[in-house]
Structure formats: structure tokens, C-alpha cells
Amino acid sequence: MNNIVKLFSISLTKILLLLSLSFILLPQVNAEDGLYERGIELVEQKDYEKALRAFELGAKTGDLDAMTAVGIMYIAGVGVNQNDAKGFKYIQDAANKSHPKAQYTLGAIYYLGAGIDVDFNKAFNWISLSAEQGYLDAQHNLAQMYETGEGVSQDFKKAYEYYIIAARRDNIDSQIKVAQMYQDGIGVEKDLEKSAYWLKKIEESKSKK
């Protein structure tokens, strides 16, 4: 398995654990808040079946965060029997409405072939749309696809452009790539001082974790 597949596997794992990891990083919410927020609260309580119902009700109102959450729960089999097709439909519907998290999730699913056939071209298209809206993981993964030439013609300059965007937003994996690219002169003019700068930033990022 090459590095990009490993990295996308990690990204998809993050997606499928979104309900138990990313949600708990959000501020505490009150029960009287919206259905999506109520679902998050229930996830924190590990009451996944009630969380799913809250997300489903939110999805019916057109809440794209809730639609994406329902899709993730079906694909991951959290609080419900796993159903890739149903989960894919929810995520696709939210992605078609320009929701950046859903677009990124759909792209990762196409890249890995999670319940569907692998399609790097569709993966690139969806991840591009998400990256254009500023979704950080999408910006990093889009840089990877430009670097490896999967789903798009290989373009180290473009890869650098997206890596530097994500690096400036404290994505440590992108910071590592930027440091390497400056060191080796790949996609950008060789600059050891800038490489050293990013190596220092990497240490600062690690110290924050």
C-alpha cells in the first residue's frame, strides 16, 4: 500500500469515527438547540440510536450537517445496521447541495471504494469542490492527488500550492510536505531557509497536541 492510500485510509477512518471523535471537540450544547446539535449531544452520551433519530429528523428539515451525519452512521454501522447504499445516498444528497464536509466524505469514499467501485476521477472532483470551499482535509488530500497524479495529471506545483494553504492552517502533514518540497526543490524553488522554517513549525504543531 503506497503512502497516499495509507493517508486516505487514515482520513476515511477519521470520517467513520467522526461521531465519536470530531463531535466531542465542539462546544457543549443544550438540549433545546437544533436537532443536529441534539444528535451531537446524544453521541457524546453514546446513545447512538437516539442520536441517529435526531440526525434523521434534522435531515428531513434539510440540515446538511445532519444529512452527512446520518450517512456516516449508516456507512460506519453506528447506532444502526450498516448500509453502505443508504449512507452513500445521504452523503451524496448533501454533497450535491454543496456541503463541503459531505463533498470531502464522498470524495474519500470514491477514492477508497468504500462500498462502491474505486473512481479516482470522481474522488478528485468532489475533493476539489470541498477544497475550494476551504475544507482543510480536502485541501491536504487534493495536494496529495496532484502530487501522485491520481484522478488528475501529476502537477507538483499545484501540489505545493494546496500543501502550503493547508500548512498555513496548521495541518501538520501538509507542513511536513512543504518542508520536504522546499528542501528538495519539488514544485517550488529550493529554499533551505524556508524548509527550516517549516521544520520549526512542525515542532510547534506537535507541541500543541
Q: For 181-207, how does the pLDDT look when each residue is reduced to its tens digit (9 = 90+)?
A: 999 999 999 999 999 999 999 998 888
pLDDT in tens, 82-137: 899 999 999 999 999 999 999 999 998 898 887 789 999 999 999 999 999 999 99
Ordered by start, the domain boundaries in the chain are 3-154
Q: How many helices (H) and strands (E) does the chain have?
A: 11, 0
**Which superfamily is assigned to 3-154 in CATH?**
Tetratricopeptide repeat domain (1.25.40.10)
pTM attached to this predicted model: 0.81
Measured in residues, the chain has a length of: 209
Q: What is the mean pLDDT of residues 173-188?
A: 96
